[in-house]
Structure 1
């Protein structure tokens, strides 16, 4: 059943008691992992940092700390060893640059990427004024096309047209999103936290956006527009409606994901056109306790790897 959007949404006062966490560090993500049979390690003494464990090949186990604020890197590495990961390679991908990891013997393996973050706490009028001019023009165009917008909880249906369209798009464009079963696990284990926004021309769905909510923030997960949807600027309308709904429901930030101007310049322009700001992540580091001291000089010398990736010109 569709939950139709009101014509106007008035944001309620925002409460900031809960700190913003990336979806990869959220209790909602942990529930989805457990449903799939994975058992993430939660470091409750370190702000509930989530550690994933995965086997690569037949014999190699690795631990991964993804999108976590690593304010105390030494304490994090000590706690991992205390949890029985003394001889396990650890891949660390901090939420922000963490140069102290080099001093502790971690080796940089991937330079920092950038993501787009949209603040949802400003009044609606300010959010609209912050839209880039071309983005706002497309929104006005979409608003004049008589499109019908619906909002509903994402069905737990692997045959849903959005999943099918996204899988086909990934194959054509050569990128990878979450495995479909992980998204379905998230939907199943977090009732009401996966919101599907769709735009209809008559009875035809011409665009869809799936937003995953977690804590006081949300993440732009997958989307698709048909050729007709692109001609009608339906994606802009859906994003605008989603932004307003999130703000009205006391979400304070929308994570729009990675900005890649080399391989996905159009999507990068779309994300930044919302008024979102760039945020630099901390890159990826490899820490292997048995080799930590031996690798420390290499880590210290390889600072150039951790220079943020260029986003290019938009």
Structure 2
């Protein structure tokens, strides 16, 4: 098979797959000063086999959660494709969605895991697939008749500020507030829980093609004690499913540093998905 990578229109990015390979991510990254490039793996006959969006950082080209393979390709072919892509850059770092290993691919960091929730089953089946404790806690929160509603776009400002304060107090790394504010509004889905005029919990998701990604959330003590986030996540999942979303990415799962959060994500019925190791790819 003869195929090659070609420079692609940056406006034409994958319509499914991880957030980092979406148009919404590219637009937010570019608005905050990053340079995004897109390439298309094309067979000699003209068929597109893959698309990949890269973030340029000085001499580095960084692939996050990609490439997006548009047709099934075996491991050896994906390996050769990455080596070919490295010819077009000065230095290529990949954090691939699927494992990439072999000659010329040098692991730098061990693989991460994310929680991917398949929303394609019927709602009753989604609920049945939850962990028993998660489902019981959801049922208990629903009995409190919490009214979770869609939030207006202006609510994003308060959520971003609350998330920044929480990040500072817990000392973890996340995308900067200006990145979140630059995500196209038509890709955002916001929910919140208000009581007596006060917002106690919020969640922000990004819709990108047939996928959506949990992006940001905040809950105060009242919300945590009431179980509002379970109700909110369940309502959001059903609403996204009704829009045509088939995969909801709940983000990183780290059972060592954040075991409670890992249990929360996987308790939904989401599957643990192992990413490929972060690696340096040599031209080949």
8 A contact 1:193–1:214 mirrored in 2: yes
| CA positional deviation for 1:274 | 0.5
Pairing partner for 2:30 from 22, 30, 34 = 34
* C-alpha spacing 1:198/1:264, structure 2 compared with 1 (3 Å): same
Q: For residues 195 and 144 of structure 2, what CA distance do their matches in structure 1 show?
A: 9
Q: Tell me what 1:173 maps to.
A: 170
Contact 1:68 1:93 in 2 (8 A): yes
For the 8 Å contact 1:116–1:272, the answer to whether it is kept is yes
Return the TM-score normalized by structure 1. Answer: 0.76
Q: Which runs of 5+ in 2 are unaligned?
A: 1-13, 42-48
Counting matched residue pairs gives: 256
2:15, 2:208 within 8 Å by CA — same for their partners in 1? no
C-alpha distance in 1 between matches for 2:132 and 2:155? 37
Task: Determine which structure has greater relative contact order: mean sequence separation of CA pairs < 8 Å that are 6+ residues apart, divided by chain length.
Answer: 1
C-alpha displacement at 1:287, in angstroms?
Answer: 3.1
Match of 2:129 in 1: 130
Are the equivalent residues in 2 in contact too, given 1:149–1:198 (CA < 8 A)? Answer: yes
What's 2:52 paired with?
49
Find the aligned partners of 1:172 and 1:262 in 2 and give their Cα distance.
19
Aligned pair partner of 2:180 in 172, 178, 183: 183
Aligned residue for 2:144? 145
TM-score, normalising length: structure 2: 0.84
For the residue of structure 2 that corresponds to 1:97, the secondary structure is coil
Query: How well do the aligned residues superpose, as a CA RMSD in angstroms?
Result: 2.0
CA distance in 1: counterparts of 2:149 and 2:271, whole angstroms: 28
Aligned to 2:212: 218
In structure 1, the gaps of 5 or more residues are: 1-17, 56-60, 293-314
Displacement of 1:153 in angstroms is 5.0
